[in-house]
Structure 1
Amino acid sequence: MPEQPEYLPISRREMKELGVDQLDVILVTGDAYVDHPSFGAALIGRVLWDAGFTVGIIPQPDWRRSEDFKRLGEPRLFFGVTAGNVDSMVNAFTPNLKRRSGDVYSPGGEIRRPDRATLVYADRIHSIFPGRPVVLGGIEASLRRFAHYDYWSDSVRRSIIADAPADLLVFGMGELAVVEIASRLERGESIGEIRDVRGTVFKMSVKEWKSSSHEEYTVIPSFDEVSSDKRKYAEAFRLHYMEQDPFRGRAVVQPHPKTVIVQNPPARPLKTEELDRIYELPYIRREHPSYRKPVPALESVRFSITSHRGCFGSCSFCALTHHQGRIVQSRSIESILKEARRLVEMPGFRGVIQDVGGPTADMYGMVCALWERGGCGRICTPECDNIEISHRRYLELLRRLKEIPGVRHVFVSSGIRHDLVVRDEKYGELFLEELCREHVSGHLKIAPEHISESVTRCMHKPPVEVLDAFMNCFRRAAGKSGREEYVLPYLMSGHPGCTVRDMIELAEYMRDHRIRVEQVQDFTPTPMTVSTTMYHTGLDPFTMKPVHVPRGREKMIQRALLQYWLPQNRKLVREGLISADRTDLIGDGPMCLVPSNP
């Protein structure tokens, strides 16, 4: 078994240089090959190699030609297929369903991946290598593992593994699952026998399902039911959402017309030492040298460090609950320092660590005593008293990173939870002060998303009173830091539960607090989120109560209200104000949102 190579092979020549005649696993990805832990194929490939398997990557194959899929030959164990770091439809279209002109995960930003890339790649591989196992993974497969509403076709689509000629689907962060699958195939098991790996989905024949016992499963409404009945869709979502607990979750079954899909419980959270080992693997942090143009997505993360995984925020519009999970898994400080010292030695490093964080940067080191015992069976939230809300460990980490010779700046770019700062009475303001002084370049990112009570409740975000408390804390901390700092709030329009009146309330708040956003975050329904279920069904899946869903012209008006001061938005803003009977905000006074004259 060769040692970890500088790059995983993407050609026969590179295989020959490594002394490998046949690879154990071949990963096919919709992204360019960038050997960086932020790119899923590179990370999974390195993990498998570390476990003793040879791995090659076919990045962005031309799906119209067989030659690209044959370039590395036939793998001994299986093909792994991923659309890449982003769902291919999210990557290809704007929230307004306009096709994007480029792809930041491709060399030079060129478009090289097909729509619904996971399905396309799996079909091509199956036709060329009909006898080889195919395992799906990545964000696209993970979040389309059940029947799901698809915004781009405005329809309910089948589970992706029901449509794809694939044997297994790995969901979530798949290191444990892919290594176990490879190990069991290595031991001689057939792919059809591997049905009990946590973090995987498999298919069962309708005949076998009808003849088996169902006691150990949670059975959710079938594809036929959820595609024709929105209440059934909401019910199915609630049922599988409540089983995404790695300790208490049961297997979930959803019948489809020609097959039955079975989701095993999620994989267990990684231990600190396991997470450390993954991120200490010898990533080069560069594009493969065969590329003549840079990959734009790399530049913002090249010298960033992942400190943890998981998020207990449970925001309605976020799919992290179904992918990384709610349990925060943190690396050790020593491992992160070791990675930082490696960055210092890398070509191109100029003393700036671009980010240290995870889904929510300041959740690093936060724990719940119940996680070790399998949780409590409830949905984790930032308001839960069982979670130890403390920035102590994150503060220690940032301070020690600054002390490393060769490191000039350590930035926190991935955003923080403002409600966690407010809740942490002991370290919250101190953390914010040091953040402003040392780790933010002018603008601190937070994501209140909205201020209207009815909307924040639908979003599962903190109320406006928490935002106001944070802003008071920020002003004190910024003053102590001696630097001129600003808050950059992410705000959203068009979310289920949001009316034009709610958006006017937000616009008035922005006016009163002198907030202006340069970019508008318009709600996009993406697979397997609470918000997407609300958008499609008009129901809250947990209460089954009706939820207002803005569409069409109203959605355009809401978007315009987020930037009410722009001349090109005045017509829509004026229309919204009139429809909401708020003509008092039309005029030339200081409290008005748009002038009297068009």
Structure 2
Amino acid sequence: MFKDFLPVSQLDLQKRGWDQLDFILVSGDAYVDHPSFGVAIIGRWLEAAGFRVGIIPQPDWTKSESFTKLGTPRLGFLVTSGNLDSMVNHYTVAKKRRKSDAYTPGGVIGKRPDRATTVYARKIKKLFPDTPIILGGLEASLRRMAHYDYWEDRLKPSILMDTKADLLIYGMAEKTILEVAEALHSGLPVSSLTFIKGTSFFTKDLSIVNDPIVLPAWKTLLASKKQVGQSFLTQMNHTDPISGEVLAEPYEHGFIVQIPPSPPLTTKEMDQVYRLPFVRQVHPMHQKEGDVSAFDEVKFSLVSNRGCFGGCHFCALTFHQGRHIQIRSHESIVKEAKELITDKDFKGYLHDVGGPTANFRQPACKKQVTQGSCRHRQCMAPSLCPNIEVSHQDYVSLLRKLRKLPGIKKVFIRSGIRYDYLMADQDTTFFKDLCKHHVSGQLKVAPEHSNTQVLHLMGKPAIQVFDQFRHKYHQFNAKEKRHQFLVPYLISSHPGSDIHAAIELAVYLKTLGHQPEQVQDFYPTPGTLSTCMYYTEIDPRSNEKIYVPKDPEEKQMQRALLQAGKKQNQALIRKALEKAGRQDLIGHHRNALIPPIKSKALPSSKKEKRFKRR
């Protein structure tokens, strides 16, 4: 079957014989027609349902013609910043401008504005005041309610208040966008779409929804950080499609309403998504501008699942994809692998087979399937729930099928592996297969810290679990005579991590003989419990005050401590150790983090003069 890109110009519409589109997708990313890009999935999904869809990728937000070139859509504009939050895309945690954009051809920075979703929506509202505007994507999803904005260091209202958009779709949007599209096509005005799961909207009349849970009002949130914490906790407890309830956040002239999440896709529906007629290439319109490096990373990778019940507090997956695992069938994945093998650029290596967490291929437990995820209990933190069902049999079977395909040399796993889940499996088949077949020289896992209190605030297991895992990992590699390294991901300056906790982690790394090449400072982005703790300096689960490192110099110290072997860090580390009263870690002994300051030797001529005077 011939595959073509979705329309991006009037010429494309003419070729198809169309005089008007049903929907126009406006995106901050370059147009890559591949299932790892949300815009491509939504565009193809709507196309498969019979709707006419066009795409405006990376419009020049200063020029009206960038937004009017495809005309007025019959049903609405679908607006997203792209695969990433535009602020994270543009700025480091130190709020310094990044030098490249992985979702732009040639890595050129500045092809999208800061807060792209808001800028695009406002521009479209001005140009097309009577056309529905529907927000989607990660940036909008995590800002659907009031949220802390790290870049402006203040609380901000729902993005719906800033944009005046008609509707917001949060989470993975296939089911929701189809229901919205069909409702609009049937003639319903967008203002009447107050019943669709996975949406948020503004209303002046709260009686249009049944029995909502009313969150603290915007004015209350501005006045009380404690209420911010309690509001976030309520939202976190209602992210499940089965047990979640309607939420309402009051503002001066109305309410932001959140309808419970859309049900997860079935395996059959997941397969339907990934067999849509993607071209699997960057659109030719970008050809002269250079490669899109984000596409290069995923071109020969396979998505096997969605969702994550891991519950890391610094991760927004719970708020976006949810805790229910959605999987593709083996047949669907194997078929896609066979297609990749025929690609002229394929060298025999599948770069990844996974998802948010690679080794999750089944529900957390039976109860989750029928009653939803527990509101007041995480599946894996502070330890694995007794009801969790651990198995890697399905994943092992899938990987073995892929390894047997003619033309496949190696199948790597580069998605995150939950080592605590792996260690809970009494069957070591997957662990052995992982070491023997699926590691590309080094395996990256995420203990994140070593301090017990910090790990508790992160939603991560005790460091002893990681120790058990690394010992087992080295044993299996030794048995297979493979020299494969283990690279731990670490986060510095997370809420709860004072200078003593950072020193504890530095000493732990010293005992491992590991020096990280890179360390990630905690990045407070919308939609995470850790960000809520960063802003409020309270753990909303207990209402206890927690220490939050915000001073730039202390954050530099904490980061430097994790890279104690770097000579340029010694001055900062010395200052940190003196501040903490830990001068015992300065010296030449085996536990020392840095050496003492060398006394300056006198020049030989001065030594001779001093000797003669004597």
Structure 1 residues without counterparts, runs of 5 or longer: none
1:386, 1:346 → 2: CA distance? 44
Corresponding residue for residue 480 of structure 2: 481
1:173 aligned onto 2:172: yes
Q: Deviations over 1:454-504 (max 9, x none)?
A: 110000101011011101110121122221111011011000011111111
Corresponding residue for residue 396 of structure 1: 397
1:263 aligned onto 2:258: yes
Corresponding residue for residue 375 of structure 1: 372
1:340 aligned onto 2:340: no
Q: Conserved in 2, the CA contact under 8 Å of 1:362 and 1:416?
A: yes
Shift of 1:54: 1.3
Correspondence list, 1:24-35, <5 A:
24-35=22-33
Letter in 2 for 1:330: I
1:372, 1:102 → 2: CA distance? 42
Match of 1:28, SS? strand
1:440 aligned onto 2:435: no
Match of 1:448, SS? strand
Corresponding residue for residue 303 of structure 1: 300
Corresponding residue for residue 492 of structure 1: 491
Q: Conserved in 2, the CA contact under 8 Å of 1:437 and 1:482?
A: no
Q: Choose which of 89, 92, 101 in structure 2 pairs with 1:91.
A: 89
Shift of 1:239: 1.1
Q: Conserved in 1, the CA contact under 8 Å of 2:194 and 2:208?
A: no
Match of 1:156, SS? strand
Distance 1:4 1:68, change over 3 A: farther
Match of 1:290, SS? helix
1:219 aligned onto 2:214: yes
Distance 1:33 1:152, change over 3 A: same
Match of 1:26, SS? strand
For normalisation by structure 1, the TM-score amounts to 0.97
1:563 aligned onto 2:563: yes
Q: Conserved in 1, the CA contact under 8 Å of 2:140 and 2:170?
A: yes
Q: Conserved in 2, the CA contact under 8 Å of 1:422 and 1:470?
A: yes
1:354 aligned onto 2:351: yes
Match of 1:595, SS? coil
Q: Choose which of 260, 276, 282 in structure 2 pairs with 1:287.
A: 282
Q: Conserved in 1, the CA contact under 8 Å of 2:324 and 2:363?
A: no
Letter in 1 for 2:14: K
Letter in 2 for 1:103: D
Give the alignment's Cα RMSD to 1 decimal.
1.4
Correspondence list, 1:497-576, <5 A:
497-552=496-551, 553-576=553-576
Shift of 1:258: 3.4
- Larger mean CA deviation between 332-341 and 148-157 belongs to 332-341
Shift of 1:213: 8.0
Corresponding residue for residue 452 of structure 1: 451
Shift of 1:5: 4.6
Letter in 2 for 1:249: G
Corresponding residue for residue 106 of structure 2: 108
2:42, 2:402 → 1: CA distance? 27
Shift of 1:238: 0.9
Corresponding residue for residue 413 of structure 1: 414
Q: Conserved in 2, the CA contact under 8 Å of 1:415 and 1:444?
A: no
1:217, 1:481 → 2: CA distance? 57
Shift of 1:414: 1.0
Letter in 1 for 2:152: S
Q: Deviations over 1:284-337 (max 9, x none)?
A: 221001112111111111111110001011111001110000111111111111
Letter in 1 for 2:4: E
1:260, 1:469 → 2: CA distance? 50
2:472, 2:152 → 1: CA distance? 45
Shift of 1:377: 3.3
Match of 1:321, SS? helix
1:359, 1:226 → 2: CA distance? 32
Shift of 1:390: 0.8
Letter in 2 for 1:49: E
Distance 1:250 1:545, change over 3 A: same
Distance 1:134 1:215, change over 3 A: closer
Q: Conserved in 2, the CA contact under 8 Å of 1:366 and 1:389?
A: no
Shift of 1:273: 0.3
2:58, 2:343 → 1: CA distance? 27
Corresponding residue for residue 7 of structure 2: 9
Distance 1:581 1:349, change over 3 A: same
Q: Choose which of 299, 308, 312 in structure 1 pairs with 2:309.
A: 312
2:386, 2:67 → 1: CA distance? 52
Corresponding residue for residue 593 of structure 2: 593
Match of 1:68, SS? helix
Letter in 2 for 1:286: Q
1:173, 1:469 → 2: CA distance? 35
Shift of 1:214: 7.7
Identity over aligned pairs, percent? 47
1:582, 1:85 → 2: CA distance? 44
2:374, 2:93 → 1: CA distance? 35
Q: Conserved in 1, the CA contact under 8 Å of 2:196 and 2:259?
A: yes
Shift of 1:587: 1.1
Corresponding residue for residue 59 of structure 1: 57
Q: Conserved in 1, the CA contact under 8 Å of 2:364 and 2:379?
A: no
Q: Conserved in 2, the CA contact under 8 Å of 1:32 and 1:107?
A: yes
Q: Conserved in 1, the CA contact under 8 Å of 2:323 and 2:373?
A: no
Q: Conserved in 2, the CA contact under 8 Å of 1:366 and 1:390?
A: no
Q: Conserved in 1, the CA contact under 8 Å of 2:368 and 2:374?
A: no
Match of 1:120, SS? helix
1:262, 1:310 → 2: CA distance? 24
1:185 aligned onto 2:197: no
Corresponding residue for residue 277 of structure 1: 272
For normalisation by structure 2, the TM-score amounts to 0.94
Structure 2 residues without counterparts, runs of 5 or longer: 599-614
Corresponding residue for residue 134 of structure 1: 133
Shift of 1:365: 3.4
Q: Conserved in 2, the CA contact under 8 Å of 1:500 and 1:576?
A: yes
Corresponding residue for residue 243 of structure 1: 238
